Amino acid sequence: MKDLEKSTVGNPEAYAAFKNKLEKLPENVVIIASHTQTDSRKEKSHPGGLLFTKFGSNQTALLDLAFPDNFGRLHDRNKETPKTLKQLSRLFPNKVTIQIPQDETVLLDWKQLLDRDIETMKSQSNIGSILSVLNRIGLDCPDLETLCIKDQALASESVEKIVGWALIDRLMHCSEVPVEQSKLIISSENIRYGLNILQGIQNENKSLKKSLKDVVTENEFEKRLLADVIPPGDMGVTFDDIGALENVKETLKELVMLPLQRPELFSKGQLTKPCKGILLFGPPGTGKTMLAKAVATEAGANFINISMSSITSKWFGEGEKYVKAVFSLASKIAPSVIFVDEVDSMLGRRENPGEHEAMRKMKNEFMVNWDGLRTKDKERVLVLGATNRPFDLDEAVIRRLPRRLYLFQIHTFCSTHPPRNPIQHFFSIWTVWSYSSLLILFVSKCRLMVNLPDAQNREKILKVILAKEELAPNVDLEVVANMTAGYSGSDLKNLCVTAAHCPIREILEEERKEKVLALAESRPLPELHSSADIRPLSTDDFRYAHEQVCASVSSESHNMNELLQWNELYGEGGSRKKTSLSYFM
């Protein structure tokens, strides 16, 4: 009798009836019952060791077994109460304890035998489940017993799907299905066909959707944010669900999806590193949030939607910890997209009057973790911001959003502003609004202002940026430097990045044409190109990039004037003259 406590202990009537039957049995009858009882203290000392508790010195024949499952864990049993143990002792006063083998070699053989037994039990259970479904819907499979399904225990829903696919396979390959005793006959091969479909779906789900339950969180902040993470399969929005905006979608595919799908094309040089920040801006209702969801879905990335309510706290200092947890969690579940809707409300200008100190600290923490000294270039974490007020963003935030896509309502704009080149005008891409070249460098008590580079310095900057890139013989960096007047260092880098994508676009277009031609001629598809097939950068690439990337800093801007005034008063070489004397002078 296996697991006697399940049928007798806890039910007084069943216990009394079983006891009466025992008393009426002849003396020459031996009843052997099994009972498994774990001992957590001994389990820790020896994996799968003596896991039994002695109850009573009197013994007849209680066989006490403890079988670990195929993962090495013991069966989880509720803790027996003293009353339960006493009842079992009254029924079976004698006890024989059976331990697992202590010798390592014998223990290994025993575990292998146990694994085979578990696989056999799984296979028998699966065959029984399939047979039950077949009988219920009027089907029969004479050679069903020849199947061995031991890799998993099939759920009832999965069994029904397998039988359904098996019936479809039978009907597709057999014009007349044989019938015996009013039951349609299918073969084990049809069942195997359904099993293969189920396994394919399960493998696809495992590859596309990373289990968030297995993520190890370091603190309570990551644990709370983990509940807000949306896997890519649960987003339900693709680029096909968004009308128009074709140029914007192509740009997003190039910046986000292409480095994931074709990493070999981005291993050459340093200019094609993954983009870490993209800003979508435009009037309300133009599809900014929809595009963000589509980016996460198409890239197969986990989606983290950040709002003020998810990273703020009433306790001083916890806001910064939440911000840090956002990026540490995003790194663990990479590839991931951190989406900040209405980003101007969270990362607006830090000089706004009346702003609380805690909010300013949160902004600083956000930018440090986003693009700071300890961030990794190859980390697949993208910050995607959306706003209809880009002019309210802090300059440091704008620098960290090197690609900015303008979205607006096409039909409204066309009626009042007919452009000469609609596509280029509608989807203008600015690749840097940055003040990163305007640095205030503090060295001891000396203050130096680093201004915008002139043509000679721009040429030097270009040589550094393009040092590891392959250039065509006709590329003259002096010409490129002269046509980029007013560009900062970041502007020049983004100019080169935009130019570096031109050869990759040509490779992809050539692959597309070759594929179309091969399909039309019924030939095998040609092999994909590698990084060795990418041509060097040419002068035309830089001319194209110059049309796309404009200077981010104006000499007449308010920020520039303030920096010049500050340098005149406090910088190295300034006149230090004030327009008016103070009261104490």
Residue 486 or 2, more confident: 486
Q: What pLDDT band is residue 472 in, cutting at 50, 70 and 90? A: very high
Helix or strand or coil: residue 471?
strand
Q: Which of 175-189, 503-517, 529-543, 547-561 has the lowest mean pLDDT?
A: 547-561
DSSP string, 271-295: TTPPP-EEEEE-STTSSHHHHHHHH
Q: What is the pLDDT of residues 177-231, one digit of tens each?
A: 777 777 888 888 888 888 888 888 777 656 544 566 667 777 888 888 887 788 7
Query: What is the CB-side half-sphere exposure of residue 330 using CA atoms within 13 A?
Result: 28
Summary mean pLDDT of the chain: 72
Q: Taking 50 as the threshold, does the pLDDT of residue 529 lie above it?
A: yes
- Of the CATH numbers 3.10.50, 1.10.8, 1.10.10, 3.40.50, which one belongs to the domain with range 107-208? 1.10.8
Q: What pLDDT is stored for residue 346 in this prediction?
A: 82
Q: What pLDDT band is residue 533 in, cutting at 50, 70 and 90? A: confident
Helix or strand or coil: residue 441?
strand
Beta bridge pairs of residue 442: 447
Q: In whole angstroms, what is the distance from residue 336 CA to residue 341 CA?
A: 16
> What mean pLDDT is predicted for residues 461-472?
88
Around Cβ 398, how many Cβ atoms within 10 Å? 22
CATH assignment of 212-430?
Answer: 3.40.50.300
Q: Taking 70 as the threshold, does the pLDDT of residue 404 lie above it?
A: no
Closest listed residue to residue 304, CA positions, set 315, 313, 312, 296: 296
Q: What pLDDT band is residue 44 in, cutting at 50, 70 and 90? A: very low
Strand order in the sheet with 179-180: 139-140, 183-185, 179-180
Which sequence spans correspond to the domains of the chain? 4-100, 107-208, 212-430, 458-585
Q: In whole angstroms, what is the distance from residue 512 CA to residue 506 CA?
A: 10
59 burial class (0-12, 13-18, 19+ CB within 10 angstroms)?
middle
Closest listed residue to residue 78, CA positions, set 1, 2, 5: 5
Are the C-beta atoms of 141 and 187 separated by less than 8 Å?
yes
Q: How are the residues of the chain apportioned to helix, strand and coil, as percentages rounded to the nearest 5?
A: 50, 10, 40
Q: What are phi and psi of 128, to 5 degrees?
A: -65, -40
Are the C-beta atoms of 333 and 325 separated by less than 8 Å?
no
Quote the Cα angle for 348-349-353, to 5°. 110
Q: What pLDDT is stored for residue 264 in this prediction?
A: 72
Q: Identify the CATH class of 458-585.
A: mainly alpha
Residue 351 or 112, more confident: 112
Q: Taking 70 as the threshold, does the pLDDT of residue 495 lie above it?
A: yes
> What mean pLDDT is predicted for residues 556-581?
57
Q: What pLDDT band is residue 28 in, cutting at 50, 70 and 90? A: confident
Q: In whole angstroms, what is the distance from residue 188 CA to residue 24 CA?
A: 50
Q: What is the pLDDT of residues 238-254, one digit of tens each?
A: 887 776 667 778 888 88
Q: What is the pLDDT of residues 419-440, one digit of tens each?
A: 333 323 323 322 222 222 222 2
Q: What pLDDT is stored for residue 531 in this prediction?
A: 81
Closest listed residue to residue 6, CA positions, set 66, 78, 54, 95: 78
3-state helix/strand/coil string of 38-72: CCHHHHHHCCCCCCCCCCCCCCEEEEECCCECCCC
Q: Which of 260-269, 331-340, 411-420, 542-551 has the lowest mean pLDDT?
A: 411-420
Q: What are phi and psi of 338, to 5 degrees?
A: -95, 110
Q: What pLDDT is stored for residue 284 in this prediction?
A: 65
Q: In whole angstroms, what is the distance from residue 508 CA to residue 517 CA?
A: 14
Q: What pLDDT is stored for residue 539 in this prediction?
A: 92
Name the percent of the chain lying above pLDDT 70: 70
Q: What pLDDT is stored for residue 436 in this prediction?
A: 28
Ranges assigned E (strand) in 31-164: 33-34, 60-64, 94-97, 139-140
> What mean pLDDT is predicted for residues 153-173?
85
Q: What is the pLDDT of residues 48-103, one digit of tens each?
A: 333 333 333 333 333 333 333 333 333 444 444 567 777 777 777 788 877 788 88
Q: Taking 90 as the threshold, does the pLDDT of residue 299 lie above it?
A: no
Common-topology check for domains 107-208 and 458-585: yes
> What mean pLDDT is predicted for residues 455-474?
87
Name the percent of the chain lying above pLDDT 90: 5
Q: In whole angstroms, what is the distance from residue 133 CA to residue 125 CA?
A: 13
Q: Which of 56-70, 281-295, 454-468, 546-560 has the lowest mean pLDDT?
A: 56-70
Q: Taking 80 as the threshold, does the pLDDT of residue 541 lie above it?
A: yes
567 burial class (0-12, 13-18, 19+ CB within 10 angstroms)?
middle
Q: What is the pLDDT of residues 335-393, one digit of tens each?
A: 788 888 888 888 887 777 767 777 788 888 888 888 765 666 667 788 888 887 777 78
Amino acid at 413: F
Q: What are phi and psi of 231, to 5 degrees?
A: -65, 155
Q: What pLDDT is stored for residue 542 in this prediction?
A: 93
Q: What pLDDT is stored for residue 440 in this prediction?
A: 24
Tokens of 363: 């902004």
